[in-house]
């Protein structure tokens, strides 16, 4: 359980129930000095930890972004999964660019409404740290800045007046909403971050203290009362004027193509020294620590990223953070979600899975269960919250004599009793197994462990936390090399769960107050336990963690598990009373079994459990007898048996009803040409005329008129340019340099004749090509011609380097010329992007959902469009020449209640005509951008709520063939990615407005 110890009894710690003798260790006993921002007392802090309503908490936090999961009724599902893992906090970014896509017009319509996010967090019992920027980075287009910032003068991320004026409306508006949902008003928000990684600066610029003060003042003027934080990209002492400073760390890098190769000696021990240099009177806070890795276009895919940052990474690197007395640890990301529409910057593709513990489709990776072990240990270890590392810079070979090992000693300098010993290999990337013994100071003197012979094992890429003089209820663990997952006192008996890797030798020693020492009796399991007394009042148990054994030691019920069995335990806290009932940290119930346990609450003598199953489950339930006379699972009464040692067991047969999925390849598809613009008679009168002769963009144009899409308010998706010119008769070709970001592409037509394409690659953000005009005679002098250029916009660059204005890097035509036609001039340039540009038409699905293809502009992707007159052709048949076509089909789903069957659109790579790009629209929402020749993504999860699980669905596919041979999808299917019986909250479909006729398209 999460032990929340009131500050005024911090000195007592866990000593009330421990033997009175103390280890003779110089701990430099310290007294906590509580601090506040002077505006409230709900969130306070001292040099050790943050306190919520006077109680110390280890804030184990994970990053999730509401805009990357647009189905608002699924927020509660995610928060419940976070809570069940043992975390208590979620950190989230707010994306300015989707809230104020047109300057002065802020909208919280549809998925942008944040109130469901706050309500779901509060219902689940999760605290929130809000990170509203105004700059966020986050692999988001323009780093979260609005598109109109690209043509706004002045340097952004400085105190420049135009930038100051630009963010006023946003900060005031979002600040008020955050203030309304702070803990001071009964909400879940406990911290607000100002800016983001304001750490790197353009040449000639440095930290702008005026800018920092402007933001702090603005947040307070908006009503923010909770502490304000900041995350230095590395601990280098920037923005120290905030209340609670912290920093970021991504020690293992982002090379997902080599997922089994770690950076040698990557453990950042130096972080503790930096913390003590800059903020010794505040907790050690890591506001972003590596929880996965992003993957770029042409990358190796997120399954590889999940391996790079898998359970072994979590054991080594997160425990290394514990070795530095970290008090706030936020994992970026815990759930990544989806870069649907135009959310992404060019460095990532549609999926933002990030290799996180919770996958993009909301299923749970093994990483989730490893985190559950660590999080639950911290919840029941209050002594950790007042520790200090004693030997950060001299820990090689410490306590083991093995120079290949590093052991960091953490001592509770307030409670003055408990020690934590974090051991890992010196080279964290090593795959070698090391044997060792420990010589540790304890309350009965120095002991060499194992006491009963043998050696301990540390595998490569592993780490452990050994405890000394550790309180578990009324029980005193003299030491334990087996790691503590959790403990709880239930019906007066201490239940302790210890674990290790399969086949490892471990010892756990109990200290008693008298010589009346109970025996250790194995009451479940076949393992043999070796025991021995030391100093007449201490009982040592030696065992091998293999399977599971249950041992009674007097009033203690000790579970000895290997890691696989430990993964199965869940620690649930039934709601208490009062306005923060769902944040209870008392009266835990332990449940073993099930894919996911979401909640446990008590109604009279009935224990009501909710959860998810992916197979038939066997349960063991450890709960107060008076509260568990009956037990239900998802409302169904369980048949209970009582074990010889007083726990309850039962089983539940999984129910996974079959469903009928559409066969998309044999479905009825309708298709129409979506590039009428190449007809020389096409009327582009209503298009925007690109006629600006000046721009404030730092990249000054070399063309007669500005040909940057952003200057004409088009900031996302496909952009179409039309150049009208009169031929002199001498032109033989056309050279053009276009910029669109990594993996972008473009295609060029002269009237209806396809000239060629730049098909794109992951490296080039712009590319110059020369295209020959057709025929041997050239163009006709005096003839009127139109060049049509279709380009992809992969999102704006981020602006990580402050005062660089990197996000203003333009999307559009950098230069052009006519081959053998130096005097030829374009008389008129026309440009089209998403219909309306910043005055976007679909206010429900938001400003980044649509691009500039003709079919998008007229709404062919929307449900209800009348396609009766269209041809009947499938996208797997495709087209035989370069161009763009739109495809539409409908299908019905009938997924029963009580299950969670996540689904994905799945394609396969085409190597015959490989150069094409596709977008997938589901009920009008763009949930996939596929570049066949670049990849890597071929599976595109679409959440329930975008997919209508109980009715009709519209699927639209765009197919842009960049080669003269045309293109087709090799395959297209809708597949389930998991089958889970679930008690997940009811999913409500996001609004899916039908098509209505659009003008000026």
Residue from 354, 435, 367, 450 nearest 85 by CA: 367
Say which DSSP state 779 is in.
Answer: P
Q: How far apart are CA 746 and CA 750, in angstroms?
A: 14
Q: Tokens at residue 229, please? A: 């934080």
Q: Tokens at residue 128, please? A: 């929130």
Note every long-range contact of 210-218, with CB atoms under 8 Å and residues 24 or more positions apart, other chains counting: 210/159, 211/157, 211/158, 211/159, 211/164, 212/239, 212/241, 213/241, 214/159, 214/164, 215/134, 215/171, 216/241, 216/242, 218/167, 218/168, 218/171, 218/172, 218/175
Three-state helix/strand/coil letters over 448-488: EECCCCCCEEECCCCEEEEEEEEEECCEEEEEECCEEEEEE
CB 857 within 8 A of CB 849: no
Residue from 579, 390, 372 nearest 468 by CA: 390
Cβ neighbours of 644 (radius 10 Å)? 9
Q: How far apart are CA 155 and CA 643, in angstroms?
A: 69
> What element of type H or E holds 683?
none
Q: Tokens at residue 126, please? A: 């999760």
| Catalytic-labelled residue, pool 47, 182, 195, 288 | 288
| Catalytic-labelled residue, pool 197, 434, 552, 568 | 197
CB 928 within 8 A of CB 940: yes
Place of tokens 């009327």: 683
Q: How far apart are CA 830 and CA 720, in angstroms?
A: 8
Sorted by sequence, the CB contacts under 8 Å of residue 369 that are 6+ apart come out as: 311, 567
Residue from 362, 370, 275, 291 nearest 327 by CA: 275
CB 875 within 8 A of CB 969: yes
Say which DSSP state 190 is in.
Answer: E
Q: Cα torsion for 323, 329, 332, 334, to the nearest 10°?
A: 110
Three-state helix/strand/coil letters over 787-813: EEEEECCCCCCCCCCECCCHHHCCCEE
Sorted by sequence, the CB contacts under 8 Å of residue 897 that are 6+ apart come out as: none
> What element of type H or E holds 954?
strand 950-961
Is residue 552 part of the annotated active site? The answer reads: no
Give yes or no for a cis peptide into 333 (omega within 30° of 0): yes
Place of tokens 């019905």: 892
Is residue 277 part of the annotated active site? The answer reads: no
Q: How far apart are CA 286 and CA 324, in angstroms?
A: 11
Active site residues: 197, 288
């Amino acid at each position: 359980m999460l032990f929340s110890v009131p500050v005024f009894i911090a000195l007592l710690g866990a000593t009330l129930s421990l033997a009175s003798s103390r280890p003779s260790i110089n701990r430099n006993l310290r007294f906590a000095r509580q601090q506040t921002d002077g505006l409230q007392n709900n969130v306070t802090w001292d040099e050790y930890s943050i306190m919520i309503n006077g109680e110390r908490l280890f804030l184990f936090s994970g990053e999730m972004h509401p805009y990357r999961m647009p189905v608002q009724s699924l927020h509660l599902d995610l928060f419940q999964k976070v809570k069940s893992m043992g975390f208590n906090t979620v950190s989230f970014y707010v994306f300015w660019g989707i809230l104020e896509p047109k300057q002065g017009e802020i909208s919280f319509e549809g998925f942008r409404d944040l109130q469901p996010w706050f309500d779901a967090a509060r219902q689940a019992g999760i605290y929130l740290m809000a990170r509203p920027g105004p700059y966020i980075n986050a692999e988001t287009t323009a780093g979260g800045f609005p598109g109109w910032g690209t043509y706004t003068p002045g340097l952004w991320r400085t105190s420049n007046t135009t930038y100051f004026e630009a963010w006023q409306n946003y900060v005031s508006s979002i600040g008020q909403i955050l203030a309304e949902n702070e803990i001071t008003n009964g909400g879940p928000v406990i911290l607000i971050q100002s800016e983001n990684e304001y750490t790197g600066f353009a040449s000639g610029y440095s930290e702008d203290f005026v800018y920092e003060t402007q933001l702090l003042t603005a947040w307070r003027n908006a009503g923010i009362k909770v502490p304000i934080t900041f995350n230095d990209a590395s601990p280098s002492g920037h923005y120290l004027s905030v209340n609670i400073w912290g920093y970021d760390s991504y020690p293992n890098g982002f090379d997902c193509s080599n997922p089994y190769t770690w950076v040698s000696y990557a453990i950042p021990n130096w972080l503790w020294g930096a913390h003590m240099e800059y903020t010794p009177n505040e907790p050690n806070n890591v506001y972003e620590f590596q929880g996965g890795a992003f993957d770029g276009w042409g990358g190796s895919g997120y399954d590889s990223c999940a391996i790079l940052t898998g359970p072994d990474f979590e054991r080594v690197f997160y425990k290394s953070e514990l070795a530095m007395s970290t008090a706030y640890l936020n994992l970026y990301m815990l759930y990544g979600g989806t870069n649907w529409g135009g959310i992404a910057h060019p460095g990532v593709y549609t999926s933002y899975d990030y290799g996180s513990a919770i996958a993009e489709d909301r299923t749970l990776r093994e990483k989730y269960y490893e985190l559950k072990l660590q999080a639950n240990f911290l919840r029941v270890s209050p002594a950790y919250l007042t520790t200090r590392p004693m030997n950060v810079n001299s820990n090689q070979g410490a306590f083991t004599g093995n120079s290949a090992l590093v052991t960091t000693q953490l001592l509770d300098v307030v409670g003055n009793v408990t020690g934590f010993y974090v051991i890992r290999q010196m080279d964290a990337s090593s795959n070698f197994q090391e044997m060792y013994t420990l010589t540790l100071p304890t309350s009965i003197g120095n002991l060499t462990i194992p006491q009963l012979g043998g050696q301990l094992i540390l595998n490569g890429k592993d780490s452990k936390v050994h405890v000394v003089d550790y309180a578990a209820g009324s029980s005193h663990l003299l030491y334990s090399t087996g790691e503590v997952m959790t403990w709880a006192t239930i019906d007066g008996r201490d239940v302790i769960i210890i674990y290790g890797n399969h086949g490892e030798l471990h010892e756990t020693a109990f200290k008693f107050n008298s010589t009346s020492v109970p025996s250790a009796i194995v009451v479940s399991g076949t393992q043999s336990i070796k025991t021995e007394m030391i100093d007449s009042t201490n009982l040592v148990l030696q065992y091998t963690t293999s399977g599971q054994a249950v041992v009674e030691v007097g009033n203690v019920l000790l579970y000895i598990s290997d890691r696989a069995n430990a993964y199965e335990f869940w620690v649930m806290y039934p709601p208490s009373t009062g306005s923060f009932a769902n944040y209870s940290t008392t009266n835990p119930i332990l449940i073993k079994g099930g894919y996911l346990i979401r909640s446990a609450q008590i109604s009279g003598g009935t224990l009501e459990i909710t959860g998810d199953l992916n197979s038939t489950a066997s349960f063991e339930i450890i709960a107060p007898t008076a509260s568990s006379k009956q037990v239900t699972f998802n409302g169904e009464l369980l048949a209970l048996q009582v074990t010889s040692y007083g726990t309850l067991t039962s089983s539940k047969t999984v129910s996974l009803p079959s469903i009928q999925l559409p066969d998309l390849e044999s479905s009825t598809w309708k298709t129409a040409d979506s590039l009428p613009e190449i007809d020389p008679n096409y009327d582009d009168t209503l298009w925007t005329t690109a006629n600006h002769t000046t721009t404030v963009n730092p990249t000054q144009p070399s063309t007669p008129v500005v040909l940057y899409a952003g200057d004409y308010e088009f900031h996302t998706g496909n952009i179409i340019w039309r150049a009208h010119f009169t031929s002199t008769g001498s032109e033989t070709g056309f050279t053009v340099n276009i910029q669109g970001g990594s993996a972008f592409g473009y295609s060029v037509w002269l009237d209806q004749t396809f000239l060629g394409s730049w098909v794109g690659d992951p490296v080039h953000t712009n590319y110059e090509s020369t295209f020959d005009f057709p025929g041997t005679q050239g163009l006709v002098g005096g003839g009127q011609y139109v060049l049509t250029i279709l380009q992809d916009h992969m999102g704006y660059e981020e602006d990580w380097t402050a005062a660089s204005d990197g996000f203003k890097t333009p999307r559009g035509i950098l230069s052009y010329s006519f081959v053998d036609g130096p005097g030829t001039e374009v008389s008129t340039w026309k440009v089209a992007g998403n219909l309306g540009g910043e005055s976007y038409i679909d206010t429900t699905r938001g400003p980044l959902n649509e691009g500039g293809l003709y079919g998008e502009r007229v709404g062919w992707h929307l449900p209800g469009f009348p396609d009766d007159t269209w041809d009947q052709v499938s996208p797997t048949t495709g087209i035989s020449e370069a161009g763009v076509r739109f495809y539409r089909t409908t299908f019905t789903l009938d997924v029963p209640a009580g299950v969670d069957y996540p689904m994905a659109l799945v394609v396969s790579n085409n190597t015959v005509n490989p150069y094409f790009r596709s977008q997938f629209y589901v009920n009008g929402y763009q949930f996939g951008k596929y570049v066949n020749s670049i990849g890597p993504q071929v599976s595109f999860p679409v959440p329930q709520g975008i997919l209508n699980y109980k009715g009709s669905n519209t699927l639209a596919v765009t197919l842009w063939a960049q080669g003269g041979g045309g293109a087709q999808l090799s395959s297209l299917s809708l597949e389930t990615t998991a089958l889970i019986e679930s008690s997940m909250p009811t999913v409500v479909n996001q609004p899916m407005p039908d098509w209505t006729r659009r003008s000026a398209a």
